[in-house]
Amino acid sequence: MMRTRISPHHPREFGSRDHFPGSGSVLECAESSLDRKCADLIPIYNAVMKPDPSLQYGFLTDATLCIGCKACEVACKQWNQLPADSASAMVGLSGFSYDNTIDLGATTWRHVAFIEQDSPAGVAWLMLSDVCKHCVHAGCLDACPTGAIVRTEFDTVVIQDNICNGCGYCVPACPFGVPQLDRSDGGSHKCTLCYDRLLGGMTPACAKSCPTDSIRFGLVAELREDGRQRVDRLRSEGVDAHFYGDEHLGGTGGIGGLNAMFVLNGSPSMFGLPARPSLPGHNIKPAAFGALLTAAGFTLLAMISMRRTR
């Protein structure tokens, strides 16, 4: 299948091939032959092209390029062997435009949101593939009491299913509503940024399958730069564009930025994203300090009220 480069400013076309940015330029001279001799080259290719664990990898998901095909949802479910959502499996459609999965959840790690907005100018028709944000400081990881949630060598956040005991604390500890307990196996699940594929030198399934490069996989620093440039360009064209995933929007309040970033053509809340979320762990200090003060108060109270009976 021929791919069309939609976004003209991309220096390289991540996601269209198993090309890991940051892992050298060996492939650049051999791109065309690689396509033909792919099978023969896989072992060499993997050895050369494995992502460098010292670098940070993430997604840039661009709402202005999304056509709502849901290839990412399908590819994700297929690769990660996720079943259909029980809620929508019977009905097929939710009534929310073409959205049949409604939300990210235990068995939906990519969710394509469909927004239809009536306005005098016509109907706004927006789509966005939502995903785990792989936060720089992740609420789920902080909350996990068992150590099941880890930060990987690719700087992604992964729940180790063989450790998770289903305490469910990561679920409300995520400011974006990503992890969820699966009733059928009791564990908490979310996007792994295809950790297994990264180990094998492959692009995550969703980015690989995206036909418009709305989902790009790559180095966080590069993607962030590209995303900001894209937003500037869109704004100069009069689009209400926002970069979501840095300290200004999405990555505020101690989260320190997102490794899975977004280019939005509308307000974050329209897409079900919190504009200025904060890291839940930041509440520990004031809550614990308050409790300590109260404990001191009760001890003082006891010293006074119990001493009378001496």
Partner 1 sequence: MTVPTSTRHEPENESTVRVGYYGVPVIHEPHWKWLVIGYFFFGGISGSAAVIGAYVQLFGGPSIARIGRHAAYVSMIALAPCPLLLILDLGRPSRFLNMLRAFRPSSPMSLGTWGLTAFGLLCTLSAALHLLHDLAGRADGGAAFSKSSYQGPTLLASLNCLAGLFVAGYTGVLLAATAVPLWSKRPGLLGPLFLSSAMTSGAAALTASTHIWPSGDHRAEDALQRFETISTLIEGVLLLSWLSALGPTAKPLTQGLMGYVVRNGVAGVGIALPLTISAISHLLPSRFRRSASLASAALTLTGVFALRYAVVEGGRRSANDPLATIEMTG
Q: Rule CB under 8 A: is residue 221 a binding residue for partner 1? A: no
Which helix or strand (DSSP H or E) is residue 113 part of? strand 110-119
Minimum Å distance from CB 227 to partner 1?
21
Minimum Å distance from CB 185 to partner 1?
8
Residue choice 96, 152, 153, 229 for contact with partner 1 (CB under 8 A): 96
Q: Which is nearer to partner 1, 43 or 95 (CB)?
A: 95
Q: Rule CB under 8 A: is residue 305 a binding residue for partner 1? A: yes
SS3 297: helix
Q: Rule CB under 8 A: is residue 244 a binding residue for partner 1? A: no
Minimum Å distance from CB 118 to partner 1?
8
Q: What would the two tokens of residue 105 be?
A: 């959840």
Minimum Å distance from CB 14 to partner 1?
28
How many other C-beta atoms are found inside a 10 Å radius of the C-beta of residue 226?
23
Q: Rule CB under 8 A: is residue 175 a binding residue for partner 1? A: yes
Minimum Å distance from CB 267 to partner 1?
9
Residue choice 166, 201, 211, 256 for contact with partner 1 (CB under 8 A): 166
Residue choice 21, 58, 187, 218 for contact with partner 1 (CB under 8 A): 187
Q: Rule CB under 8 A: is residue 35 a binding residue for partner 1? A: no
SS3 296: helix
Q: Rule CB under 8 A: is residue 309 a binding residue for partner 1? A: yes
SS3 6: coil
Q: Rule CB under 8 A: is residue 83 a binding residue for partner 1? A: no
Residue choice 55, 136, 171, 263 for contact with partner 1 (CB under 8 A): 171
Q: Which is nearer to partner 1, 168 or 211 (CB)?
A: 168
Rounded to whole angstroms, what are the CA distances from 76 to 103, 213, 248?
A: 14, 16, 29
- Which residues contact residue 98 at a Cβ distance below 8 angstroms, ignoring those fewer than 6 apart? 68, 114
Signed CA dihedral, 271, 254, 226, 72: sign only: negative
| Number of residues this chain uses to bind partner 1 (CB under 8 A) | 80
- Concatenating the DSSP letter of every residue in 21-46 gives TTS-SGGGGGHHHHHHTHHHHHHHHH
Residues 123-162 contacting partner 1, CB under 8 A: 139, 141-148
Q: Rule CB under 8 A: is residue 89 a binding residue for partner 1? A: no
CA pair distance 194, 36, nearest whole angstrom: 25
Q: How many helices (H) and strands (E) does the chain have?
A: 10, 10
Spacing of C-alpha 135 from chain mean position? 8
Q: Which is nearer to partner 1, 22 or 268 (CB)?
A: 268
CA pair distance 208, 104, nearest whole angstrom: 20
Q: Rule CB under 8 A: is residue 297 a binding residue for partner 1? A: yes
Q: Rule CB under 8 A: is residue 303 a binding residue for partner 1? A: yes
Residue choice 37, 67, 165, 221 for contact with partner 1 (CB under 8 A): 165
